[in-house]
Amino acid sequence: MTKILAIDDTPYNLDILKNGLEDEGFDMVTAQSGREGLMLIDQERPDLVLLDIGMPEMDGHQVLQQIRLSDEYGDLPVIILTANTEDSNLARCLESGANDYVTKPFSFTALVARVNNVLRTQKDAIKLTREAEKLRDLAYRDEMTGLLNRRAFFERANAEFEIAKSAREPLSVAILDIDHFKQINDTYGHPKGDDVLRAFGKLLKSSLRLHDVVGRIGGEEFAVLLPNSKPMDAYNIFERLRTRLIKEHLLSNEDGTIRPVTVSSGIVGMTDQKELDGLMILADMALYRAKNQGRNRTIVETGVTS
């Protein structure tokens, strides 16, 4: 049920609003002062506020200002109730952030229509915002794993690289590759291969800190940037991940035997490289060594600061 908070210093006005709007199916909460109204906004979380302008101590304009300054409910719909029909007053109400106004004495039919219109507009705005967020998420997320896609990873990772370089802080970069992934697809089918990618992505993300940057940058290739981490710290993280992955038993053969899924990782720490691309090349070299030495291992690129 839609909840409306009416703020007015006149009890008679509040009774009229409460009774009339409850008859229209709204859940009503009332306050007799601006300060009480702000407190009830925080407690009751109404969907809309009906706000009288002419109140002592804290008038409607001041209450509206406090609402719009709030980080939590700054976009709460507000309809001003006012007996002052001067254009300058009505303009001030809208300029202060009111969604609409109703002049006193008001027609209840008109009030309900304006309430429904503001609520509908707010609902549409929320829907558009959510759709925009979904589109933005699609632009930055890998559809298969939910991790950052290649473009988004490099955007975030480049920003973190510049911060670490300026602050002279440690940083590690890792590139990970699921071993024999083509063979997995050929033997078990692409749907099962997709399951492996999703499971690995989830396992990888759960192994990292919230501020680590992780993305899927190729078919079975993943990349991680770890701020404030030395290579051996990263090595310990990815060794634990490698061990966990084997124990997950993601694939099994027809005879019931387990087909282990393994991962190879190449790690490099911050060097004198001026660009992230240089670190990525070094991490890729370490990954190549891990593959060349038999896979299912984690290699730290040597000859760099640790």
Active site residues per annotation: 220
CB 265 within 8 Å of CB 290: yes
Dihedral of CA 7/9/12/13: which sign?
negative
CA distance 264 to 294: 9
Using alpha carbons, select from 235, 228, 223, 241 the residue that is nearest to residue 279. 223
Token match 């490289």: residue? 273
Backbone angles phi, psi at 71, to 5 degrees: -75, -30
Token match 């060097």: residue? 271
Amino acid at 87: D
Supply 28's token pair.
Answer: 């009503």
Q: Which residues contact 40 (CB under 8 A, 6 or more apart)?
A: 5, 29, 31, 46
Supply 219's token pair.
Answer: 């078919």
Supply 140's token pair.
Answer: 């930055």
The b/e string for 161-195 (b: 16+ C-beta within 10 A; e otherwise) is: beebbeeeebbbbbbbbbbbbeebbeebeeeebee
CA distance 164 to 152: 18
Residue 306 three-state SS: coil
223 strand-pairing partners: 175, 215
Backbone angles phi, psi at 285, to 5 degrees: -65, -40
